[in-house]
Amino acid sequence: MIDRNKLQNRAANNYKDKGIFWCSPRMGKIRTTFLLCEKQGFKKIRVFAPRIDIFQGWKDDAIKFDFKGELLFYTTTIASKMVYQDVDLIVLDEIQEYSFEQLKGIKKLIGKNKSIALTGTMTNKTLSDIQTILGMNVCFKYTIEEAVEDGVLSDYKLYIHEVELDDVSKYIVTKKGSITEKKRMQQLTWLKDKLSKEGKPTFFLDLKIINLLQNSLAKRNKTISLLNEYKGERILVFCGTTETADKLGIPVYHSKSKEKELFNAFCNGEGETLATIKMMQAGITIKPINKGIANYISGSPEESTQKLCRFLGYEFLNPDKIAEIHIICSNTDFEKARLKTALTWFDENKIFRIKNDKIIL
């Protein structure tokens, strides 16, 4: 296993006045930033992030590594309302999640301050926006592939379970009566194709299709089947909606349930199963965990990679760990195309497709 301390020092030594640390999950981006501050003599630090749950990791690591600097935290939503501050360093954590408008707000705030952006996953489009608006370039990059090879992240296998949409239960209500989810998908797909041929926008139809897939009965039933198959093992389930998560018959943590203690306990190794939605993206560590189910994954490589990497943390008590992640995907062209994009940064040789309980080529 590679010496993470040397890796972090190498990153800190590569810093430019306005740079980006593109660090694989588990490399230790917070400690890398602390090393940067120590090397440069930075004392007054302002940390921006898209979600407040990210800040707890900074607070915990500041104590763990005895960081002496002044840390103040702000969400990106208020950046545009703040005025320029003369500080030593502005940290833009999880910058891949910033909106175009938030990047513009950050630009006004940074001014002449030195700054560092942190990310684990980033598309070329996101990088281009950051370079254009903030003038930041990558000064250190350490990929997921390198991290797996070096032992920073555990090895993994992704199993894609292809299921056919339900064509029995008429639970979807339309103006013309109740129909099955398969029939509704056929209607939406036909209309989407028609509008595309006419050169008309299909955005709202895409949203309807996504909602159908997020709440799919067939995908939910497959998720429950896998939970039963692996009963007794520690499993985290990602869902697309609270309605689906609430119907799996296992403990749930999402924005409506507010079970913070349940969430923290699971992250610390307590409990066998937990279903969640977007509450465990970047900045969250779960130990121990080596098996997961994704009932739904968005088409974003950045979001999907952050989500799936929650399972790839190296565990010293389980050095031979191979993370096993089961992804439920409908047999529709729409979802299969989105999933292919979502898994851009994962090794194709470690992805296995399953149909009718058999691995297919």
Compute the distance between CA of residue 70 and CA of residue 91 in angstroms, rounded to an integer. Answer: 13
What's the pLDDT score for residue 140?
A: 96
In a domain? residue 194: no
- Shared domain check, 159 and 121: no
What's the pLDDT score for residue 78?
A: 83
- Shared domain check, 37 and 14: yes
Give the total number of structural domains in the chain.
Answer: 2
For residue 263, is pLDDT > 70?
A: yes
pLDDT band at residue 80 under the 50/70/90 scheme: confident
Share of the chain above pLDDT 90, in %: 61
Would you say how long the chain is, in residues?
361
In a domain? residue 228: yes
In a domain? residue 186: no
In a domain? residue 177: no
Strand 18-23 to strand 137-142: parallel, antiparallel, or no bridges (unpaired)? Answer: parallel
What's the pLDDT score for residue 255?
A: 63
- Shared domain check, 265 and 213: yes
pLDDT band at residue 284 under the 50/70/90 scheme: low
Task: Report the predicted TM-score, pTM, of the whole model to 2 decimal places.
Answer: 0.80
What's the pLDDT score for residue 282?
A: 47
* CA dist 307 → 26, 169, 190, 209 (Å): 13, 31, 32, 22
Both structure tokens of 171: 């639970």
- Chain segment 199-212, per-residue pLDDT in tens: 999 999 999 999 99
Q: Which domain, by its residues, includes 278?
A: 155-166+199-360
Compute the distance between CA of residue 340 and CA of residue 300 in angstroms, rounded to an integer. Answer: 10
- Shared domain check, 162 and 144: no
Question: Cβ contacts of residue 356 below 8 Å, gap of 6+?
Answer: none
Q: For residue 332, is it left (φ>0), alpha (ψ between -120 and 50) or beta? A: beta
> What CATH number should be reported for the domain holding residue 21?
3.40.50.300
- Chain segment 302-329, per-residue pLDDT in tens: 888 888 888 887 665 576 789 999 999 9
Bridge partners, residue 119, by sequence:
22
Cβ(325)–Cβ(294) under 8 Å? yes
- Chain segment 31-74, per-residue pLDDT in tens: 999 999 999 999 999 999 988 878 888 999 999 999 999 999 99
Compute the distance between CA of residue 342 and CA of residue 305 in angstroms, rounded to an integer. Answer: 7
Cβ(124)–Cβ(348) under 8 Å? no
